[in-house]
A and B are shown apart, each in its own frame.
Chain A
Amino acid sequence: MRDDVAAEAHKCLIEAGVDFVACMPDSAFLELYQRLEADSAVRYLQVANESDGVGVCMGAWLGGARPAMLMENTGFTLSCYALLRGPAAFGVPMLLLISYRGGFGDQRWFSVPFGWATEPLLRSLRIQYSVVNEAGDMAQAIGGAVKSMNAMQAPVAVLFPPALFSEGK
């Protein structure tokens, strides 16, 4: 992720009250999760599987935190069971920050199918989402998502397309 984008995302997450982050590290989010891990205002937990991260975020919200889950869209597909069984069925808010592999402009052939699937999957899971195209859109996207997740008592998502990644990531 570009440094300016990571810095803006970090600032917006803190301003929105996010204080718990579960992360399945991927190279697109490297600059962001390093910032979050180093921030003492955030309880940061690295998971080994995106489904696990959704479960942990659900528990963190029940315990009183305002959680976000960082993951690549490849791993988002893996987390669909947990999202339906947990947050969707129980009505538990969480913010999903998803790097949009296979999005417009991504030349990696093996990512393309995930580009096809990501937004249709979000819609089928009834998860409201927005796509951030510029760092300047971040405050509206993240701030709005956190307000919506609390009002809806449901997960919401923000997608980060390849134009926001660092070169070569």
Chain B
Amino acid sequence: MKLERRAVLERLRDHLTESDIVVSALAGTTADTYQVLHRPENLYLVGLGMVTQVSLGIALTLPDSNVVSLDTDGSLLLGPSILPVVAASGAENLRIIVFDNEQLFGSRGGAPSQTAAGADLTAMARAAGIGRADTVADDGGVAAALEWLFSGPGPSLLTAKIALAARTEGPSMDGQENKYRLVRRIEAIRGREIVAPAKP
């Protein structure tokens, strides 16, 4: 059975604690994450080529939380230079899921991405030095793949070869509101103030 992104996200919830952070890519990934897995610890990044980058920065500064990067084929192909940096960083709490539907803006029927022509994101990650990298392509394998992704120290990367799907409704807040909500949550997790405006 062809893999659905929403099915992966539904199962992902079982692996998250209240102090774990989720960073999602734009468009369908953010919309599905918002619909299926909305929580105060989510950042809806709405940016290509910087999802795993931002996730790595959070992971390095919040070592007691798992940080889950929900990246995509188009996004990772824009910024693959982050893969060797992830490998060299030793960020054991970074878990990367790459939703690969082999299409750019797949929810609106865009052009095929280079993964449709054979580019293998898992192989790229391994070649960059991320030893724990694997691919799941069928619904029956998702539970075991997520179990593997979160077992043992990261960084670990799972490419999920998913079916195309129609776009759902995304978050009703902008990035600034999302930032403040997330930072206040991280302040609670860390027990330390991050945003502290000067008193008037």
Which residue numbers of A lie inside 8 Å of B, CB to CB? 20, 22, 43, 45-49, 51-52, 54-65, 67, 81-82, 85-86, 89-92, 150-151, 153
Q: Report whether A20 and B85 are in contact in the complex, using a CB–CB cutoff of 8 Å.
A: no
In terms of DSSP, what is the predominant structure of the interface of chain A? helix
Q: Report whether B61 and A64 are in contact in the complex, using a CB–CB cutoff of 8 Å.
A: yes
Q: Find residues 169-200 in chain B having any chain A CB closer than 8 Å to their own CB.
A: 175-176, 178-179, 182-183, 186-187, 190, 192, 194-198
A62 contacts which of B85, B88, B182, B198 (Cβ < 8 Å)? Answer: B182
A55 contacts which of B53, B187, B194, B195 (Cβ < 8 Å)? Answer: B53
Give complex CA distance A54, B53 in Å.
Answer: 8
Q: Report whether A60 and B81 are in contact in the complex, using a CB–CB cutoff of 8 Å.
A: no
A90 contacts which of B56, B175, B187 (Cβ < 8 Å)? Answer: B175
Known contacts being A62-B186, A90-B175, is A52 close to B81, with CB within 8 Å?
Answer: yes
Q: Report whether B85 and A43 are in contact in the complex, using a CB–CB cutoff of 8 Å.
A: no
Q: Report whether B79 and A64 are in contact in the complex, using a CB–CB cutoff of 8 Å.
A: no
Give complex CA distance A92, B57 in Å.
Answer: 13
B58 contacts which of A22, A46, A62 (Cβ < 8 Å)? Answer: A62
Q: Report whether A62 and B81 are in contact in the complex, using a CB–CB cutoff of 8 Å.
A: no
- Beyond A43-B61, A55-B53, 17 extra complex contacts between A and B, CB < 8 Å: A47-B85, A51-B53, A52-B82, A55-B82, A59-B55, A59-B57, A60-B61, A62-B57, A62-B61, A62-B194, A63-B59, A64-B187, A65-B57, A67-B57, A85-B50, A86-B45, A90-B178
A58 contacts which of B54, B84, B196 (Cβ < 8 Å)? Answer: B54
A46 contacts which of B57, B62, B85, B195 (Cβ < 8 Å)? Answer: B85
- Note all chain A residues with C-beta closer than 8 A to B89: 45
Q: Report whether A86 and B50 are in contact in the complex, using a CB–CB cutoff of 8 Å.
A: yes
- Note all chain B residues with C-beta closer than 8 A to A22: 57
Q: Report whether B57 and A57 are in contact in the complex, using a CB–CB cutoff of 8 Å.
A: yes
- Note all chain A residues with C-beta closer than 8 A to B59: 59, 63
Q: Report whether A62 and B179 are in contact in the complex, using a CB–CB cutoff of 8 Å.
A: yes
Q: Report whether A64 and B62 are in contact in the complex, using a CB–CB cutoff of 8 Å.
A: yes
Closest to B50 in A: A55
- Note all chain B residues with C-beta closer than 8 A to A63: 57-62, 186
Give complex CA distance A49, B78 in Å.
Answer: 12
Known contacts being A48-B84, A63-B62, is A56 close to B54, with CB within 8 Å?
Answer: yes
Known contacts being A52-B85, A62-B43, A90-B175, is A81 close to B57, with CB within 8 Å?
Answer: no
- Note all chain B residues with C-beta closer than 8 A to A150: 196
A48 contacts which of B45, B58, B85 (Cβ < 8 Å)? Answer: B85
Give complex CA distance A22, B61 in Å.
Answer: 13
Q: Is B155 an interface residue (CB 8 A)?
A: no
A49 contacts which of B62, B79, B179, B198 (Cβ < 8 Å)? Answer: B79
Known contacts being A59-B58, A62-B58, A92-B179, is A48 close to B53, with CB within 8 Å?
Answer: no
Give complex CA distance A86, B43 in Å.
Answer: 12
Q: Report whether B49 and A64 are in contact in the complex, using a CB–CB cutoff of 8 Å.
A: no
Q: Is B47 an interface residue (CB 8 A)?
A: yes
- Note all chain B residues with C-beta closer than 8 A to A46: 85, 88
